[in-house]
Chain A
C-alpha cells in the first residue's frame, strides 16, 4: 500500500478556504484516494474519495492531478467545528487502510 505524506498541522481562520495536500508518490494503478476526518475521542468519519481529476460533495472537494502522485483536500469556508485531524489514505479494493499521523487542523475565530 502506498505511503502518504501530509503536513502534521495547519492553522486557519473561520471563513477561509483550507487546502491540505497529501503526497503519495508510489500510488498504484488500482489505488484510490480517501480522506477521513477525526474529532478527539471519536472514530474517523469518511469525507471524500476519488481516483482522478476532481470530486466534489457537500462538504469538500478533492483535486487529483493527472499523475496521481498527490491530492489536495479543499474545505470551503471552514468553521470552528472543522477543527479536527484529517487523514489521507490510499488503498485498493482489498479494503485494508493504512492511517498515517494525519493533519491536525486548527480553526481560529
Chain B
C-alpha cells in the first residue's frame, strides 16, 4: 500500500521539551512538506524539501527544524523556541516529475501535538 505515514497520531509534551514528528512516504516522491493547522484555520507551510539534504523555510519556520537524509523521510522537530506548538501537523509529498503546471500533494493522516 503506497502512501504517507505519520506517527504518532496524538502526542503530548511538557513545555520546554523538543519533540520530533515522524513522516515517511513510499510513493517515491521527490518533494515533501510540513504544514501546521490551527482550529478553524487553513494550513500554513512550515518547511519543504525538493531533494535529499536540501530544504527551504516556509511561511512559519521559526521554532521548527527539519532534516532530509533519505528521500522517504522528512522528520520535523518542534523546538522549545516555538511559542505556540499545540496544533495539528500535516506532512505531504508530491512528485516533481512529468509535465503540467502543478503537482498534486498527498497528505498523511496528521499528528495532533498538545504541549502543556
Contacts and interface: CB of A to CB of B under 8 A. Distances in A.
A98 B100 CA distance: 19
Contacts of A41: 88, 110, 112
B44 interface: yes
A46 B106 CA distance: 7
Interface of A: 30-32, 34, 41-46, 49, 51, 87, 91-93, 95-102
A99 B102 contact: no
Contact of B109 (A32, A43, A46, A96): A43
Given A95-B48, A99-B44, A100-B42, A42 B105 contact: no
A97 B104 CA distance: 10
Contacts of B94: 95
B108 interface: yes
Contact of A43 (B41, B90, B101, B103): B90
Contacts of B105: 44, 46, 95, 97
B115 interface: no
Given A41-B112, A42-B109, A43-B109, A96 B104 contact: no
